Chains A and B, each alone.
Chain A
Amino acid sequence: MADTSRVTLPAPAPMVSQVTMLRVAIILTVLAVWEFLSRSGWLYRDVVPSLLAIGRALIDLLTHGDYYFNLAVTAGEVGAALAIGGSLGLIVGIALGANRFLSKAFESYLYYLGPTPKIIFFPIMIMWFGVGPGSKIALGTLSCFFPVALSAAAGMRQIDKTLIKVGRSFRATTMQMVFKIYLPAMRHPIINGVRLGLGVALIGTLLAETKLSNKGIGFLIIQAYSIFDMPRMYAMLIILFILSIGANSLVGHFGGLDNIKRS
């Protein structure tokens, strides 16, 4: 331990700063090109608004309570979709992973349905759950279910058989097996599945909001577009972008590499 840490510890420091520098450089370049395009007059002014206009729209957005209300609506929908779809996916995944018969009978359907764009089910969801948040949650849930179920099933099959034997030899009950052996042993595939699930739940929910809705971020974006308020639309995209990065790294943090031993 001492040896390896002595050799490897100093190395990452300059690496990280190099990567950071490159990232900053890329962002600055994109901004510069953007501003250049906006001033060049080659494109319609409104398609590529100046950074200043976007900045102003951003401040305008963040200083009005209206935006936060819609943000809360979308966040609530995504959260509910992740909670419902994630837990259903987990239960189904564990059942498929544990039972060869069930897995043979049903798992191929999951593989076929998994990559299908869930938005095609949106009309049905509207009929079942209405125009409000219900249909968005339903679509997000549907999107999120598949990656979580498939990762959980795969994770379940990867569990070291010896650990299961240890649990049995100490006469663990089924509940103890699930909570003290299966779930901790498959924590990495599950976290991965939830990460993918969060991504597609976000996509599903927002997509649904842009199609037919009366509140939420997707609704605001499409509204800004329909009145051709481009700076406002870009400002919302930027915030959304930052929020998804934040959410993703949060999920990673809770069960990611830094938590390998404890989670």
Chain B
Amino acid sequence: MNAPLQNPSDILVVDDVVVRFDTPEGAVTAVDHVSFGVRQGEFLSVIGPSGCGKSTLFNVIGGLLGHTSGTANVAGETINGPHPSIGMVFQEESTFPWRNVTDNVAFPLELIGMPKAQRIERARHFISLVGLDGFENRYPNELSGGMRQRVSLARTLASEPKILLMDEPFAALDEQTRLLLGDKVLQIQQQLKQTTLLITHNITEAVQMSDRILVMTYRPGKVKRIVDIDLPRPRTSDIVGSEAFGRYVAQIWADLREEASRGMRDEEKTMMGAKS
């Protein structure tokens, strides 16, 4: 195992976090002694096969789920509930269908009691940042899936989190939309110098966007390796064609393959068990 890659200056520190669930079949360890740090301004991706506990980790860091042991700190404060420094973007559809784009994006500002004129102005700024100018008064059902996900992103950015925490935000979108949205996220991240933690199972996406990639093992989810992605910035999806990109993808896949096939064998075993 790698030594925990942590630094006192890290903005997010996950230290020896364990998450165990009680199920009818006994205790399941979803996250097993995971430690890592996220540096100010960096883009870190957590990648792993399904069932590696990465979504559990997302919920723990987001403060929506408690953990069994270990600590998670953001900007020096312990996470024991949703923290104002962390802004979450969910994989599932999460816009409010009864609010138009502006009111969706202004939602977090409304919660903290910002005056109406001011929050609308702020919302407009972030709507324009995600490239949705002209759609301010539309309702989610009048937008495409990719546009709705951009609304969610703008809404989270509007709360000006220190860390943007995203759980497979593009998983439900088609490949082209996903790549283009990836570009948009990269551009915004560079513009805002936004510290970002992305949870994903998509290698291309991870390599395209990240400064570092944390590879997780199949159940129980541990840190397998942290890979530095030394590709030039600013990046766009053009980088997908470069030779260095291909090498990183191959390297990550080599790590992941072992875990993914272990997961697959495990699944098959469970299926066989269920059948007999």
Contact = CB atoms under 8 A, between A and B. Distances in A.
* Secondary structure class of chain B's binding surface, majority of residues: loop
Contacts of A260: 98
A184 B111 contact: no
A113 B96 CA distance: 35
Q: How large is the interface on B (under 10, 10 to 19, 20 to 34, 35 or more residues)?
A: 20 to 34
Interface core residue of A1, A160, A162, A166 (most chain B CB under 10 Å): A166
Nearest to B108: A170
A166 B111 contact: no
B82 A170 contact: yes
Contacts of A168: 64, 82
Interface stretch (B16-24, B37-45, B84-92, B225-233): B84-92
Interface string A113-140: 0000000000000000000000000000
The main secondary structure of chain A at its interface with chain B is helix
B78 interface: no
A163 B111 contact: no
Interface in B123-180: 139, 141-142, 159
A185 B93 CA distance: 14
B110 interface: yes
Contacts of A187: 98
B248 interface: no
Interface string A216-247: 00000000000000000000000000000000
Contacts of A184: 96, 98
Nearest to B96: A163
Nearest to B98: A184
B107 interface: yes
B62 interface: yes
Kindly state the interface size class of chain A when it binds its partner.
20 to 34
A169 B96 contact: no
A169 B98 contact: no
A6 interface: no
A263 B100 CA distance: 11
B7 interface: no
A64 interface: no
A165 B108 contact: no
A104 interface: no
Given A163-B94, A165-B90, 12 more contacts: A1-B142, A162-B90, A165-B88, A166-B90, A170-B82, A170-B108, A171-B81, A171-B84, A173-B111, A181-B96, A185-B98, A261-B97
Nearest 4 pairs of A and B residues by beta carbon:
A169-B88, A162-B92, A170-B108, A261-B139
